[in-house]
Structure 1
Amino acid sequence: MKTADLQAIAKHNVRRFILFRMLFNARFYYPVFAVIFLDFGLSLDQFALLNAIWAATIILAEVPSGALSDLMGRKKLLMLTASLMVLEMSVWAFAPRGNPTLLFWLLALNRVLSGLGEASASGSDEALVYESLEDAGMKDQWSHVLERTSRWQSVAFMVAMVTGGLVYDPDLLGRMASIDRETTLRLPLYLTLATAIVCWINCLGFVEAGDGHSAGKPSITAAFRQTFNTGLWILKTPLALVVILAGAFLDSIIRMFVTLNSEYYRLIEYPEYALGILGTLVAAMNFFIAPLARRLVEKHPPGFVFLSAAAAGLLGFFGMSFFIPYAGLAFSLLLFATFSVVTFSLSFYLNQLSDKSMRATVLSFKGMALNLGYGFIGVVYAQLLRALARSHATPTGSDELFIEGAQYFTPYFLIGSLAVILFACVCRPNMNRLSTTAPPRR
C-alpha cells in the first residue's frame, strides 16, 4: 500500500480514536453517579458491593482481553467494547424499580458488562491507532495525538458534567418541559445510551493495520500463552517494568485522593453548588496540562518525568494536609495535573516500548497494575480509618477522622516514591532509551 494511503488511514483512525475516547469516557451520569444509584432504591452497602463487582470484573478480564486483542485484532475488541457499552446502558436505563431484588441483580449485571467493556477497551484503541501511525511512518506524532485526545476528552467531560447535572434536576426540567421525576431519574442514562450507540457506529469505521490478526479463532491455550509470554517480557525488560510500577504507584494514591475530593472541597469551605464548577475547572485544566505533558515526554527521559511527577505529587499532598480554606484548591489542582501527566506518560512510553505482537497485552498489564494498586491503597486507607476511629473513639464518618487520615498521605507517598526509586536503581533500566527531541509539527 502506498505511503499516502497509509497516512490517510492513520489520520482517519486518529479521528475515530478521539471520538471513541470522548463517547466512551464522558458519561452523563458521572456528576450524579452515587446519587442516581441511591435514588433508584439501592442502599449504601449495595452501592459499595456493586463498585466492588465492577472493579473485580475489570481486574479479572483486563489481561485476557489484551491477549485476545493481540490474537484476534484490535477492531474486533473495540466493536465488542462498544456493544458491551450499549448493553450495559440498556440494562440500567430500562431496569424496573418495583422489585428491589431484581433491581439489584440487574444493576449487578450492568456493573459486570461495564467492567468487561472497560477491560476490552484497555489497550486495543491505543494499539490500533499507534500501529496505524507506525505503518504510515508517523509514529513521532503519537504524543500529539495523545495531546489532542486529552483536550477533546476534557471538552466532552465538561459537556457531560454540566448536562448530566442539569437534566437530573426535576425542579428545573419540571418548570421547562413538565417532565416528571421518574423520567428525570433516567435522562442521564438515556443520553449515555444514545452516545453508546454513536460510539458503536464510530467503531465500525476503524481501519485496522496489517492483517488485523484475524487468522482464526484463538484457543484458550493461545490466549494464556500470549499472556504468559508478555508477562515474562515485562519482567525481563527493566524499563517496561519500572514504568508500569512507577505509574501504578503514582496513579493509585493520587486516584484515591481524587475519589475523596468532594469531601476535601467541603472541608476547605467550598459550598456544594461549587462542586460542579470545580469539576469543570479540572476538565478545562487539561487544555494546559496536555501540551505540558507532551513536551515533557518528548524532551526528557522517563526517569526525569516520573521524578518530576513524584515531586509535584509530594508537594500536592503536603499542602493538602493543611486544609487551607479556599486556597487549598491549588494543591488539589496540582494533584490532578500530576495524575494527568502520569496517565499521558504511561500511554506514550509503553506504546513505544512494546512490539506490535504483544502491545495490547502490555497495555492490559498496565491497566491491571493500576487497578490492583488502586484496590490495595483502598484497603490500606479503609483499615487506617478503622484503626484511627477505634484509637480515638471517633465516628467513622466524621470530619475529624477524614482530616486525621489525610495526614498519612504525605509520608506514604514519600516512602512509596523512595521505594520505587530504589527498585529502579536495582533493576538498572536504561532510562534514557526513550529520550527524544520534539518532532516537528506536520
Structure 2
Amino acid sequence: MNNHYNVRKLYLIRFFASLIPAYVIERLFWESRGMTIQMVTHTEIIFAATVVLLEVPTGILADRWGRKQMLLLSASLYAAELLILVYAHAFWHFALAIVLAGISRSAGSGAENALLYDGMLAAGRAEDFEKILGRLNALDLVAAILAALSGGLLAGKFELELHYWLSVASALTVIGLTATLAEVRVRAEDDDDEGSQRNPLDYLRASASFFKTHADVRSVVFTGMVIGSSISFLYEFWQIYLARLAVPVAYFGLFSAVIMLLGLPGNLLAHRLLLRYGARPPLLAATLLASAGFLFAAFVHHPCSLAAMLLTSLAAGIAEPIATGYLHRRIESSMRATIDSFQSLGLNAVLAASSFGFGLASAHFDVFGGYGFVGALCAAYGFGICAPIVIKRIRCKVYHIEG
C-alpha cells in the first residue's frame, strides 16, 4: 500500500519539481544580472564541490534518520534557492543560491532512489525499478517541457523575474507533497538493528569495500557519471549557444522542449534495452552519441547543429535508469541511500574536474570550444575505456557459444 502511495506521490513531486519556468531563461537572467560565462562556470564548480563534500554525509543521514526527512529538507532548500535568485545582483548572491542548490541535491539524490527501490522491493516489484524510474524521469521531462514552452511565451511579454516567482510556487508545492510521503524500510532477517548501530565511519568503510569488490558496478556506474556530467553542460549552456547563433529568444522555449522530448524515448525504453542487450552496450552507444552531438555542435556553427545536440539528450535518457538500476540491484537496504550517494558524488566530482576544462576552452573559443572539450572527453572515454570492455565481453560470449 505504501509503495503504490509513494509512487503516485513521487510522480507528482517530480512533476512540480520540474515545472520551473525559470530554467528556460536562466542564463539570460543571470547574464542580465552581470554573470559572465566564466562566472557561471565558477558557480558550477561551487555546486559540484558542495555536492562532493555533502553527498555521502547526507546519504548516511538518509539511511539513519529517514529518506522522507532528507527529501523534505531538499525541497525546502530548493525553494530557498529560487527565492534568493529573485533578488540576486552580485556574484556572492548567486554563489549562495548555488550552495543551497548543492545541499538540496545532496540531500535528495540518494534518498529518493532508496525510498523508491525499497518500496518496490517490499511490494515484490523490484524487477520494475528501471521501468518506474524511467517513467519518473519521463514525467520529469514532460513537466520541464511544459515549463519551457510557457516560459518561452512569458519571456516575450513579461519581465524575466516573473519566471522565478512562478518557480517558487512550484517549489512550495513540492514541499507540501513531500510531507505526505510514507517512510519505507526493508531489513534483512539478520540485520535488525545494524543500521542504527553503525557509525558514519562504518558506512564509509562498507561503501568503499562495496565498490572495491565490485569491478562490474564501478565500470557501469562510472560510464553513467561521464554521460551525466557531460549532459549537464548541454542543459546549462544551450541558451548561450543559441544566442551565439542569433536564434531569437522566442524560440528558446521550443528548443528546450525538443531537448527534453528527446530524453523521453531513452527513459521509457531503457529497461527493454537492458533486458535485451545488458547494461554495457547501451551505455557505450550513449557515450558515443553524446560525443558526436557535442563535437558537431562545436565545429559546425549553424542552426543545423542544433539537431546534432539533441543526440546528447537521447543518450542521457538511456544511461541514467540503466546505471542506477544496475547499482541498486546489488546493494542492501540499510546502505542504499549512502551507496547511491557515492554514485552522485562521483558524478559531481567528474563534473567539477571537467568544468575546469570547459571553462578554459570557453575562455579561448567561447561556448563552442567548451562543447568541443566535452565531446572529446566523451569520445576518449568511449573509445579508450568503455568500448574495449564491451568488445571483450562479446568475444567471451562468442567463445562460450562456440565451446
Residue 316 of structure 2 aligns with which residue?
339
Residue 197 of structure 1 aligns with which residue?
172
The verdict on how the C-alpha distance between 1:240 and 1:43 changes in structure 2, with shifts beyond 3 A counting, is: closer
CA distance in 2, matches of 1:268, 1:55: 29
User: What CA deviation, in whole Å up to 9, does each residue of 1:61-105 have, x standing for no partner?
Assistant: 111111111122211111111222233334444x4x7xx6xx655
Residue 123 of structure 1 aligns with which residue?
110
Residue 272 of structure 2 aligns with which residue?
295
Residue 435 of structure 1 aligns with which residue?
none
The verdict on how the C-alpha distance between 1:233 and 1:137 changes in structure 2, with shifts beyond 3 A counting, is: same
CA distance in 1, matches of 2:106, 2:192: 20
Once the 2 structures are TM-superposed, how far is the Cα of residue 201 of structure 1 from its aligned partner?
A: 1.2
Whichever residue aligns with residue 122 of structure 1, its letter is: S
Work out whether 1:417 is the aligned partner of 2:366.
no
The verdict on how the C-alpha distance between 1:252 and 1:365 changes in structure 2, with shifts beyond 3 A counting, is: same
User: What CA deviation, in whole Å up to 9, does each residue of 1:399-431 have, x standing for no partner?
Assistant: xxx556655555543322233238858x99xx9
The structure with the larger Rg is 1
Work out whether 1:23 is the aligned partner of 2:10.
no
Greater shift after overlay, 160-169 or 136-145?
A: 160-169
Q: Which has the higher helix share?
A: 2
SS at match of 1:250: helix
Residue 208 of structure 1 aligns with which residue?
183
Whether the 8 Å contact between 2:358 and 2:374 is mirrored in structure 1 is no
Residue 180 of structure 1 aligns with which residue?
none
The verdict on how the C-alpha distance between 1:209 and 1:277 changes in structure 2, with shifts beyond 3 A counting, is: same
Whether the 8 Å contact between 1:309 and 1:341 is mirrored in structure 2 is yes
Whichever residue aligns with residue 167 of structure 2, its letter is: T
Match of 2:66 among 56, 64, 73: 73
Within 5 A, what are the aligned runs for 1:142-291? 142-169=129-156, 172-173=157-158, 184-210=159-185, 222-265=199-242, 270-291=247-268
User: What CA deviation, in whole Å up to 9, does each residue of 1:279-298 have, x standing for no partner?
Assistant: 11122223333222231123
CA distance in 2, matches of 1:379, 1:257: 16
Number of equivalenced pairs:
392
Q: What is the TM-score normalised by the length of structure 2?
A: 0.84
Whether the 8 Å contact between 1:255 and 1:339 is mirrored in structure 2 is no
User: What CA deviation, in whole Å up to 9, does each residue of 1:368-413 have, x standing for no partner?
Assistant: 1111112212212334456xx4xxxxxx54xxxx556655555543
Whether the 8 Å contact between 2:288 and 2:379 is mirrored in structure 1 is no
CA distance in 1, matches of 2:344, 2:225: 9
Within 5 A, what are the aligned runs for 1:44-55? 47-55=40-48
The verdict on how the C-alpha distance between 1:281 and 1:47 changes in structure 2, with shifts beyond 3 A counting, is: closer
Whichever residue aligns with residue 33 of structure 1, its letter is: E
* Alignment RMSD: 3.4
Once the 2 structures are TM-superposed, how far is the Cα of residue 128 of structure 1 from its aligned partner?
A: 0.4
The verdict on how the C-alpha distance between 1:132 and 1:385 changes in structure 2, with shifts beyond 3 A counting, is: closer
Match of 1:327 among 277, 286, 304: 304
CA distance in 1, matches of 2:245, 2:36: 28
Residue 400 of structure 2 aligns with which residue?
none
Whether the 8 Å contact between 2:130 and 2:325 is mirrored in structure 1 is yes
Greater shift after overlay, 186-195 or 331-340?
A: 186-195
Residue 286 of structure 2 aligns with which residue?
309
SS at match of 1:243: helix
CA distance in 2, matches of 1:188, 1:218: 43
User: What CA deviation, in whole Å up to 9, does each residue of 1:163-221 have, x standing for no partner?
Assistant: 3344444xx24xxxxxxxxxx453222222221221111112211223799989979x8
Once the 2 structures are TM-superposed, how far is the Cα of residue 269 of structure 1 from its aligned partner?
A: 7.0
Work out whether 1:348 is the aligned partner of 2:335.
no
